[in-house]
Amino acid sequence: MDKFVLHGGKPLHGTIPISGAKNSTLALMPAALLASGVFRLRNTPALRDVNTMSSLLKTMGVRARLADHVLTLDTSGVDRQEAPYEHVKKMRASIYVLGPLLARHGRAKVSLPGGCAWGPRPVNLHIEGMRKLGAAIELKRGYIHAKADRLKGARISFDVSSVGATGNVMMAAVLARGTSVIENAAIEPEITQLAQFLQAMGARIDGVGTNRLEIEGVDGLHPADVDTIPDRIEAGTFLVAGAITGGTVTVAGANPEHLAAVLARLEDAGCTLTVEPGRITLAAPAKLKPVDVTASIYPGFPTDMQAQWIALMSVAAGTSVVTDTIYFDRFKHVPELMRLGADVEVKENAAVVRGVPNLTGATVMSTDLRASASLILAGLIAEGETEVLRVYHIDRGYEAIERKLQALGADIQRVSHQEF
């Protein structure tokens, strides 16, 4: 098992290329199950989660190969419509195979995802959506058993705006008989890319980019290629790395539009931003100002940047409040940040962060992907040595993060070690 060893205190300087978006790739890959043939997903990030999805698709008969960030998927040999617990337990996004399998093959057996590091993350909206499209669904022995000769168009209005449920139901509806309407659909950039990819495969979808999607089902789809959008959360994380270390960092290949809420808060904290097409440069202030944020659905401040923001605010000149309206108890990183000397108090779904002059190095434990990013950010400025354990969490969503940080001048090493 690997850990990161950091020595803090070096301002970061330089330019970082941003990888393709994990949360787009994890939706685009199952979409390929909707047609037979060869797909090319360009700008695919080399991540553990992408490998997990590849191995899941391979169990169904898909041939998958990633070379030079081009993922080639051949779905002409799909012969199995099952997502076993062994795969799904590693990654909740595996649930995305439910809609495409049901729509294309009329049946699917998909393991329920089980627990998550933080809070209940139910999939009731996915299941209700499939039922509304006419699927017979039974939950048995930890599995979703779904059947439908052919799905039928329906009106689905989500109580909660859900990225996953919007993507799954949209992928099911594109092959249904008749027209479906999804109301209160998610409009995250990853969902817009998924809709555009389905359109490139021959799907008929109106309202892309809005929270009301109208989908006219078709009888068949064909393969397509796609250029995966840049990862807005990776870009946001590196900009915060520049801000917290007092440096100047450029993220190349990022889409500023997808990061508008994060950029606005960074400016409020005193950072100077230069935004050009495909490039964002951040110059840190001498002292960060405390800035409250409320994590919400897109285009609001992303919950996947909440932990990184708490790390940043832990050394701001004053007190800030960081609230999460998507996940009420996504604060597992807080006790670990406090081991580094941060002063944070969590009350329900908000963290009160009292800025301290500096952090001091210690051994800390990653609990999930974004929590581990916040610990690395804190380790970049903590005096002395910081060890971040269980970095397999970070490899799920950041491609070679230590190499990218080293290129900016960070003192970070990946070390394999035995955990007792």
Residues belonging to the active site: 116
Pick one of 42, 65, 121, 287: the residue that binds ligand EPZ (CB under 6 A).
Answer: 121
Number of residues that bind ligand EPZ (CB under 6 A): 25
Question: Does an H or E element contain 64, and which?
Answer: strand 63-67
Under rule CB under 6 A, residue 333 binds ligand EPZ: no
- Which residue's beta carbon is nearest to the bound ligand EPZ? 164
**What's the rounded Cα separation, in Å, for the pair 358 and 345?**
17
Task: Pick between residue 204 and residue 212 the one whose CB is nearest to ligand EPZ.
Answer: 212
- Binding to ligand EPZ by CB under 6 A, coded x per residue (else -) over 175-204, reads -----------x---x--------------
Pick one of 89, 275, 327, 414: the residue that binds ligand EPZ (CB under 6 A).
Answer: 327
Region of 75-83, 115-123, 193-201, 352-360 interacting with ligand EPZ (CB under 6 A):
115-123
Q: At what angle do helices 98-105 and 124-132 cross, to 10 degrees?
A: 20
Pick one of 103, 171, 217, 304: the residue that binds ligand EPZ (CB under 6 A).
Answer: 304
Q: At what angle do helices 22-31 and 189-200 cross, to 10 degrees?
A: 30
**What's the rounded Cα separation, in Å, for the pair 403 and 201?**
36
Under rule CB under 6 A, residue 231 binds ligand EPZ: no
What's the closest the beta carbon of residue 380 comes to ligand EPZ, in angstroms?
20
DSSP labels, 163-214 = HHHHHHHHHHHTTSBSEEEEES----HHHHHHHHHHHHTT-EEESTTSSEEE
**What's the rounded Cα separation, in Å, for the pair 293 and 381?**
22
Token pair for 310: 């708490």
- Show contacts with ligand EPZ in window 128-167 (CB under 6 A): 160, 162-165
Among 27, 63, 73, 68, which residue's Cα sits nearest to residue 44? Answer: 68
Residue whose pair of structure tokens reads 């803090």 in the numeric block? 8
Task: Pick between residue 226 and residue 315 the one whose CB is nearest to ligand EPZ.
Answer: 226
Pick one of 122, 142, 318, 384: the residue that binds ligand EPZ (CB under 6 A).
Answer: 122
Task: Pick between residue 160 and residue 415 the one whose CB is nearest to ligand EPZ.
Answer: 160
- Binding to ligand EPZ by CB under 6 A, coded x per residue (else -) over 251-290, reads ----------------------------------------
Pick one of 322, 389, 397, 410: the residue that binds ligand EPZ (CB under 6 A).
Answer: 397
Listed in sequence order, the residues at least 6 apart from 141 whose beta carbon sits closer than 8 Å to its beta carbon are none
- Binding to ligand EPZ by CB under 6 A, coded x per residue (else -) over 8-27, reads --------------xx--x-
Token pair for 309: 């923001």
Task: Pick between residue 90 and residue 370 the one whose CB is nearest to ligand EPZ.
Answer: 370
Token pair for 404: 């990218």
**What's the rounded Cα separation, in Å, for the pair 129 and 141?**
21
Region of 121-129, 130-138, 256-264, 286-294 interacting with ligand EPZ (CB under 6 A):
121-129
Q: At what angle do helices 22-31 and 98-105 cross, to 10 degrees?
A: 20
Residues at the site binding ligand EPZ, with contacts judged by CB under 6 A: 22-23, 26, 92-93, 121-126, 160, 162-165, 186, 190, 303-304, 326-327, 369-370, 397
